[in-house]
Structure 1
Amino acid sequence: MAFNDDEMPPASKVGSTKGLVTINQPTYSKDAVALMADEVTAVVELTATSSTAVREGLDLVAVLDVSGSMQGHKLQSMKKAMHFVIMKLTPVDRLSIVSFSNSATRHCPLLSVTQGAQAELKGIIDGLVARGGTNIKAGLDTALAVIAGRVTTKARTPNVFLMSDGQQSAGDARQADPGSVAVYTFGFGKDADHALLSDVARKSTGGTFSTVPDGGNVSAPFSQLLGGLLTIVAQDVQLTLTPQAEDPSEPDLKDMDVADGTDYTHTKDNATGLITIKFGTLFSGETRKVAVNLTLRDSKLMAEYDAKLAEAQHSYTVQGGLQKQTPQDFFIKRTPNPPTDPDAVSGKARAVLAEMARRQHAGAIGEARKMADGRNLEEARYKLSDAQNALEDVVLNDGEKLVGMLRAELQQLLDLMETQELYEAEGRPYALASETSHGRQRYAARGGDMDAVRLFATPRMDTYLEQAKKFEEDPTAPLPSADEDAKEEMAANPLAAISAPIAFYIRAAIQALQEIEKLVAPPTK
């Protein structure tokens, strides 16, 4: 299956590509480590700029279930949500629509979303009729063929979103290979194959699974995905961590491994210890935290010093070009008398402990889901209650916002585990959406109250959620395009567009001065 008929869009906006993704100095679970063999966890954080002055063009294939079970409210809600999507896109974005029932139909190639194309795309959506079975694999295969057959790819991001309300009736969508394409899935109602849709999303690079409860509207969950896809500032984001030492013959670092808790692809060269983590795309305002467990050797020194452990370097592509950033050295203080009072740790160390607690929290949700899947609701609820108690020990510098959302997430899941029937209808999809959200560090709609748990949501997603609510009330009211949203953001913060490149050049100057200082410093005795 090959198409190769995607429409040529206008060029996306070009601006400075410097500093769109930055890396912070690592923070450690301890403020200092001992001179004897010790262990510590480091968190390395990548942050995407909050500005959308430069963004990648969006190539989106919407894969829509039109099987017989979609008749009625579900089909009408999906159509209304797709109108919202179409109205937000701009000419630099392209959209193709694929529907599936017993088989799949591609209704149009990737069209540049001009005003004229909007009318054509809305007409396609309005003409969809629900009937037949649920061949999810056929729909996904067709969408991936549309992406694979693109002629224009420079500075464009390939994405698929797929929604279904039923069990697959032919083939196995898990067998589809999305490669580097992000696939975002939505399970609509209690009869959807939520486990399948979650697996499809997690098999892709950066995709998430969201759930829409029976009787719910799709505009709000779709709006959250759009709030990210229309603000992609970098692709192929990658981080490498390389063991380093001031004296290679006597390194402080014995071993380094990525901690559990994320779904990103990572590899380790056992000969050199080099670790590579691949994140895919980053939305404006998103962060990615990598936790690394470090094992240190006995030190031969007797006095306090800063030990060099590793070098971190990140890279990304934007506007079709590779941006490889300046490497940064990571140091940690080693001392004969490291602090032992857990209440005396710094705010940075507490932030690392909070991140590890969040990962344990996500792990507890996954374990509880497996227990509930085995019809052991009592043990599952105990597991979630223990996770609630563990949050009491989490102390943050920036208040209780994170802890509050984690508590709300656990409480909602506990409420959805009151009975096995309720769990299978709403609890399982809620848990699966939570797991993919935590694992990808990316927002996913969990169903129900979308205001309660906003973990990983970006400012644009918050804006689009409010717009989607108003749209559901009155679909005829004017809806700003993504370009108009960006202009409003820049008017509110005019320095945002230049802050990233300025910060980049300042950091480069500081690093250059530090290197000069090393060269001119008198030799130590």
Structure 2
Amino acid sequence: MTYDDDEPIVALVDDSEDKPEAFEAGKTQVTITNKPEAVLEETELKVLLELTGSGDNEDRAPVDLVTVLDVSGSMKDEDKIGKLQIAMQFLIQKLSPIDRLSVVTFSKGSSRLFPLRQITNESQLDIIEKVKALNAHGATNMAAGLQMGIQVLNDRRLSNRRVGAIMLMSDGDQSLRYGDARQVPVDSFAVYTFGFGSDAKPEVLKEISEKSKGGTFSDVRNLNDLGKAFSQCLGGLLTVIVQDLNLTLTQVNKESKIDINNVTAGNYKKTEKDGSVNISFGELYNSEVRMVLVNLLLLKADSEKSPDVLHVNYSYRGKGKRAFEAPPMTATVTRSKTATDKEIPKLIIEENRLKTLNSVKEARALADNKELERAKDKVDEAKNSLEGVKDVDDPKQVIKALMYDLERLSGFMKSQEEYEEKGRPYAMSFETSHERQRYAARGDVDAVRAFATPRMDAYLEQAKEFAKDPTKPPPSAAEDVKQERAENPLAPIAGPLSHYITVAIQALKSIDDILKSSTNVKRT
């Protein structure tokens, strides 16, 4: 069976007049940070790149969302099905007419409640009624549900420049006699997985999200947090500002050497060709950041100079018909006999974030192998290491957040039983969040806010209010944009303006380099 019955998008207002195309420039801003000086001898240089989504949320990409929901018999326990229905009602009412939604459920088999439907006032009411009618029964055939969800997106007639995504929720272990959901090909779309309750299996859900294109695993142990966790995922999806974000790093002549193994960019696809490293990030939310740490080997220099040591190119696709190619940027360092070893706070913070991530992975591997004491020692080592840098200038409080996560994880290692129930899923959610550099719920959704964006923060508060009174509709996505515009009226032009200023600075630098080169030639 094919699912090519997705509804077309029908304009609900008169938009026949020609409208100016949105600015494509500046939707992703890149900053380069490295030590300004390096010695003449062969040495290493760390370069940090920050790619930030920047734009107007009214200009975001439309979304085709498929929710794949576990309605097996265990969902009857503790009114899990009721909590799922409330979480889904919030989600449905936050989508806009440019978006479409399909709901797939699975128990012993799978069922598509309806095709991808455009979200209108009428369809919202109908979809909510269908969700309210869900019943829990049967086994847990997660593979069938995920396969159906993927097929709904694959078979679409309308897909151009639309974000396809899946939110998969399960409260228990999959029934392997029906198939293994980890074997379902998911690399074409982002699959966001949610382990709901204490019986969910994080290993399966994390692996599915890791194999997908940008998805994350959220640990929702607290049954009252499902709506909040859904809201955070939705807060990202409804602010996708660019798609197909690609970064290419190229070594400059023979002044420096770059190795793909020394380019750290999280769990994103890296490829190497002809001395260049390319990283494919896929989609980027508004205000979301991707950090890339590059270790360069600077070869011995014969004289003092200020060479370019790394070329940076990036491209992305906004709402325009063509991909936007940003002007190239460069990283530069001054080679000097008297180079100072001044530390850069941003570099210190990122190195410690990555170091902590590796420590958590090692601790989890030890705990999974029943070596709980050694695992606790590994977590304590990570905490002690962060103590040494806690006073660094850290406006985003990354170190503080890492310390909080380590404290929580350590608290879940009092016994092997507690680790397996709480510590393992917490560690896995921590890992997926830091590998993707994207928010993922774990433990206390309110307290752990690493990688959260402003829209996610707003949706968290809205989801709390909605849970108190589901009969009161939350603000619409259009109202969210209106509020954001009121708080930041320059948002639509901030990105392009910053972009053109950066281009101007780069041009002036190039002119200055040419003049210096010309002066040196005349002297010679």
TM over 0.5: yes
Residue of structure 1 in register with 2:45 after alignment: 40
Residue of structure 1 in register with 2:58 after alignment: 53
Q: Distance in 2 between matches of 1:289 and 1:465?
A: 25
Q: Distance in 1 between matches of 2:376 and 2:59?
A: 46
Residue of structure 2 in register with 1:176 after alignment: 184
Q: Residue 120 of structure 2: which of 114, 118, 121 is its match?
A: 114
Percent of aligned pairs with the same amino acid = 41
Residue of structure 1 in register with 2:494 after alignment: 499
Amino acid at match of 1:163: M
With the length of structure 1 as denominator, give the TM-score of the two structures. Answer: 0.93
1:520: how far off? 5.6
Amino acid at match of 2:327: T
Q: 3-state SS of the aligned residue for 2:114? A: coil
Instruction: Tell me if the contact between 2:349 and 2:398 (Cα under 8 Å) persists in the aligned partners.
Output: no
Map 1:149-298; keep pairs closer than 5 Å. 149-169=155-175, 170-245=178-253, 251-257=254-260, 258-260=262-264, 262-269=266-273, 272-298=274-300
Amino acid at match of 2:494: S
Instruction: Tell me if the contact between 1:34 and 1:335 (Cα under 8 Å) persists in the aligned partners.
Output: yes
1:318: how far off? 1.2
Residue of structure 2 in register with 1:299 after alignment: 301
Q: Distance in 1 between matches of 2:511 and 2:383?
A: 51
* Comparing 506-515 and 173-182, the one that deviates more: 506-515
1:498: how far off? 1.3
Q: Distance in 2 between matches of 1:138 and 1:154?
A: 26
Residue of structure 2 in register with 1:146 after alignment: 152
* Comparing 255-264 and 217-226, the one that deviates more: 255-264
Q: Distance in 2 between matches of 1:151 and 1:361?
A: 44
Q: Distance in 2 between matches of 1:143 and 1:118?
A: 20
Instruction: Tell me if the contact between 1:63 and 1:98 (Cα under 8 Å) persists in the aligned partners.
Output: yes
Matched, 1:455 2:450: yes
Instruction: Tell me if the contact between 1:265 and 1:278 (Cα under 8 Å) persists in the aligned partners.
Output: yes
Instruction: Tell me if the contact between 1:351 and 1:396 (Cα under 8 Å) persists in the aligned partners.
Output: no
With the length of structure 2 as denominator, give the TM-score of the two structures. Answer: 0.93
Q: Distance in 2 between matches of 1:404 and 1:255?
A: 32
Q: Distance in 1 between matches of 2:355 and 2:74?
A: 38
Q: 3-state SS of the aligned residue for 1:218? A: helix
Residue of structure 1 in register with 2:386 after alignment: 391
Q: Distance in 1 between matches of 2:506 and 2:58?
A: 27
Q: Distance in 2 between matches of 1:151 and 1:326?
A: 35
Map 1:367-378; keep pairs closer than 5 Å. 367-378=362-373
Residue of structure 2 in register with 1:15 after alignment: 22
Residue of structure 2 in register with 1:105 after alignment: 111
1:518: how far off? 4.8
1:260: how far off? 4.3
Q: Distance in 2 between matches of 1:111 and 1:215?
A: 29
Instruction: Tell me if the contact between 1:164 and 1:187 (Cα under 8 Å) persists in the aligned partners.
Output: yes
Matched, 1:364 2:359: yes
* RMSD after superposition: 1.8
Q: In structure 2, list runs of 5 or more residues that go unmatched.
A: none
Q: 3-state SS of the aligned residue for 2:296? A: strand
Q: Residue 70 of structure 2: which of 58, 65, 71 is its match?
A: 65
Instruction: Tell me if the contact between 1:239 and 1:276 (Cα under 8 Å) persists in the aligned partners.
Output: yes
Q: Distance in 1 between matches of 2:307 and 2:98?
A: 49
1:261: how far off? 6.3
Residue of structure 2 in register with 1:86 after alignment: 92
1:10: how far off? 4.5
Residue of structure 2 in register with 1:335 after alignment: 336
Over 3 Å counting, the alpha-carbon distance change for 1:205 and 1:415 in structure 2 is same
Instruction: Tell me if the contact between 1:105 and 1:139 (Cα under 8 Å) persists in the aligned partners.
Output: yes
Over 3 Å counting, the alpha-carbon distance change for 1:64 and 1:287 in structure 2 is same
1:493: how far off? 1.0
Instruction: Tell me if the contact between 1:405 and 1:452 (Cα under 8 Å) persists in the aligned partners.
Output: no
Residue of structure 2 in register with 1:248 after alignment: none
Residue of structure 2 in register with 1:445 after alignment: 441
Q: Distance in 1 between matches of 2:28 and 2:10?
A: 25
Q: Distance in 1 between matches of 2:507 and 2:223?
A: 59
Deviations 1:208-253 (A, max 9, x none): 00011153331000000011000000011110001113xxxxx211
Q: Distance in 2 between matches of 1:130 and 1:376?
A: 38
Amino acid at match of 1:21: T
Residue of structure 2 in register with 1:408 after alignment: 404
Instruction: Tell me if the contact between 1:443 and 1:456 (Cα under 8 Å) persists in the aligned partners.
Output: yes
Q: Residue 430 of structure 2: which of 424, 431, 434 is its match?
A: 434
Instruction: Tell me if the contact between 1:261 and 1:363 (Cα under 8 Å) persists in the aligned partners.
Output: no
Deviations 1:250-309 (A, max 9, x none): x2113333444611110112xx210000111101100100011111211122x3x21211
Residue of structure 1 in register with 2:473 after alignment: 478
Q: 3-state SS of the aligned residue for 2:156? A: coil
Instruction: Tell me if the contact between 1:185 and 1:197 (Cα under 8 Å) persists in the aligned partners.
Output: yes
1:451: how far off? 2.2
Q: Residue 129 of structure 1: which of 126, 130, 135 is its match?
A: 135
Q: Distance in 1 between matches of 2:280 and 2:348?
A: 24
Instruction: Tell me if the contact between 1:17 and 1:54 (Cα under 8 Å) persists in the aligned partners.
Output: no
Q: Distance in 2 between matches of 1:493 and 1:261?
A: 30
Amino acid at match of 1:27: T
Over 3 Å counting, the alpha-carbon distance change for 1:327 and 1:454 in structure 2 is same
* Comparing 251-260 and 47-56, the one that deviates more: 251-260
Amino acid at match of 2:461: E
1:465: how far off? 0.6
1:504: how far off? 2.1
Q: Distance in 1 between matches of 2:286 and 2:348?
A: 26
Q: Residue 464 of structure 1: which of 447, 459, 463 is its match?
A: 459
